[in-house]
């Protein structure tokens, strides 16, 4: 394991930020450019899988071509000695997951404002035929100016291409997964929007619609597939009927009943945002 103070090539490791299914994330300094970076070092057991590395390199190159204010910028993907690393933009702030752990639920207007930014980033990616595949609060970053950045595009897809279903779930819980993901079908635009709908549900209620008291993945998956979600207003009476109907449309089990594009969803969010702002001002 890499320790603070060590160097990987030109990258000076300053602190560990977290660990995930793919690797360990560090705060580092690119000493060549005197630039802060978030440096992901891929786990050794994955770094030794050449097929995985080739696939990941392709996905990293695709993400590196994206340049949008609401998407984390990828700087490079390299092998340095025994380490495969990906260097990306470092964002000072917190993940949406961390914010929700502290606040439980967000004011409706704040949540809609964040949702607009996320949808702008997703629309940019989707129009370039790039699917995220793992939208959840942990992959939504918020800086000190309340700007949103989406991280880890395409990572779920990479894991899904290797090994069986259980191995692909190394990324995390199935709480935000769409029914088609659970069934092993192709992940597309509407799957990202479903996961975003689940995320927005949690933003305004402090709860998720499908869960298991025993943390059983099978129970959660079964609920995504077959159980109707509780109405958000049960958890938060400030969620009025227009916002509630919006959420319930976003998390319809059949893709054809959801919003069909990020721009369609964004147009509805803009309308809800303006209505809510007028209510707050009156």
282 occurs within a structural domain: no
Whether 67 is covered by a domain: the verdict is yes
**Residue among 267, 205, 271, 193 nearest 236 (CA):** 205
Over range 148-167, report the average pLDDT. Answer: 61
Residues 6 or more apart in contact with residue 221 via CB below 8 angstroms: 174, 177, 182
> What is the reported pLDDT for 164?
40
Does 52 have pLDDT greater than 50?
Answer: yes
Is residue 63 within 8 Å of residue 83, measured between CB atoms?
Answer: no
Does 107 lie in the same domain as 64?
Answer: no
Residue 217 lies in a domain: yes
Q: In the listed set 27, 56, 89, which residue is the last one of a domain according to the structure? A: 89
pLDDT at 33: 95
Q: C-alpha angle 54/165/185, rounded to 5°?
A: 85
- Asked, for residue 197, whether it belongs to a domain, the answer is yes
How deeply is 65 buried, as exposed, middle or buried, from its count of CB atoms within 10 A (0-12, 13-18, 19+)? exposed
pLDDT tier for residue 58 given thresholds of 50, 70 and 90: confident
What is the pairing mode between strands 11-19 and 140-143?
unpaired
- Is the whole-model pTM more than 0.75? yes
Whether residue 156 is found in the same domain as residue 176: yes
What is the pLDDT confidence band of residue 168, given thresholds at 50, 70 and 90? very low
Q: What's the CATH code of the domain at 208? A: 1.10.510.10
Res 169: pLDDT? 38
Of 17-26, 55-64, 257-266, least confident by mean pLDDT is 55-64
Residues 105 and 227 in one domain: yes
Compute the residue count for the chain.
282
* Pick from 7-11, 132-136, 161-165: least confident: 161-165
Residues 83 and 138 placed together within one structural domain of the fold: no
Instruction: Assess whether pLDDT exceeds 60 at residue 171.
Output: no
Give residue 69's domain range: 7-89
Q: Could you tell me if 64 and 142 lie in one domain?
A: no
Give residue 22's pLDDT. 79
pLDDT at 25: 92
CB atoms within 10 A of CB 51: 9
Catalytic residue, from 30, 54, 110, 134: name it: 134
* CATH at 28: 3.30.200.20
Domain final residue pick, 39, 54, 89: 89
Indicate whether 73 and 101 sit together in one domain: no
Q: How many domains does the chain have?
A: 2
Distance CA 67, CA 121 (A): 10
Lookup: tokens for 169 = 């779930």
Same domain, 127 and 57: no
Residues 199 and 241 in one domain: yes
- Same structural domain for residues 122 and 27? no
- What band does 281 get if pLDDT is binned at 50, 70 and 90? confident
Res 163 pLDDT > 70: no
The reply to whether 17 and 135 lie within a common domain is no
In contact, 208 and 251? CB cutoff 8 Å: no
Q: What tens digit of pLDDT does each residue of 15-39 get?
A: 999 887 778 999 999 999 999 999 9
Tokens found for residue 123:
């629309």
Residue 270 appears among annotated catalytic residues: no
Q: Which residues contact 222 (CB under 8 A, 6 or more apart)?
A: none
pLDDT digits (tens, 9 = 90+) for 213-252: 888 999 999 999 999 999 999 999 999 999 999 999 999 9
Pairing of strands 140-143, 83-89: unpaired
pLDDT in tens, 99-156: 999 999 999 999 999 999 999 999 999 998 888 988 999 999 999 899 999 998 866 5
Which residue's entry shows tokens 């993901």? 181
The three-state secondary structure class of 216 is coil
Tokens 């990906």: give the residue.
86
CB 29 within 8 A of CB 11: yes
What integer pLDDT is reported at residue 20 of this predicted model? 76
Structure tokens belonging to residue 21: 């299914």
d(CA 278, CA 282): 6
């Amino acid at each position: 394991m890499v320790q603070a103070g060590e160097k990987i090539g030109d990258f000076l490791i300053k602190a560990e930020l977290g660990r995930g299914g793919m690797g360990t994330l560090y705060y580092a300094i690119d000493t060549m450019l005197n630039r802060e970076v978030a440096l992901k070092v891929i786990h050794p057991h994955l770094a030794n899988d050449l097929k995985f590395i080739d696939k990941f390199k392709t996905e990293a190159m695709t993400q590196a071509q994206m340049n949008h204010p609401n998407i984390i910028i990828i700087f490079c993907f390299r092998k340095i000695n025994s380490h495969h690393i990906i260097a990306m933009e470092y964002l000072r702030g917190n993940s949406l997951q961390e914010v929700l752990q502290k606040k439980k639920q967000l004011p409706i207007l704040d949540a809609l404002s964040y949702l607009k930014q996320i949808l702008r980033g997703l629309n940019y990616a989707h129009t370039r035929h790039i699917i995220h595949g793992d939208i959840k609060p942990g992959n939504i970053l918020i800086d000190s100016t309340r700007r949103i950045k989406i991280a880890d595009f395409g990572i779920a897809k990479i894991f899904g291409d290797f090994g069986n279903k259980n191995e692909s779930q190394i990324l995390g819980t199935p709480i935000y997964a769409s029914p088609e993901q659970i069934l092993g079908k192709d992940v597309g635009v509407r799957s990202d929007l479903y996961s975003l709908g689940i995320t927005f549900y949690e933003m305004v209620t402090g709860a998720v619609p499908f869960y298991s008291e025993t943390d059983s993945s099978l129970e959660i998956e079964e609920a995504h597939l077959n159980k109707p979600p509780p109405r958000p207003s049960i958890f938060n009476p400030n969620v009025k009927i227009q916002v509630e109907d919006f959420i319930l449309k976003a998390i319809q089990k059949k893709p054809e009943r959801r919003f069909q594009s990020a721009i369609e969803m964004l147009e509805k969010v803009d309308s809800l945002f303006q209505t809510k702002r007028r209510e707050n001002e009156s």
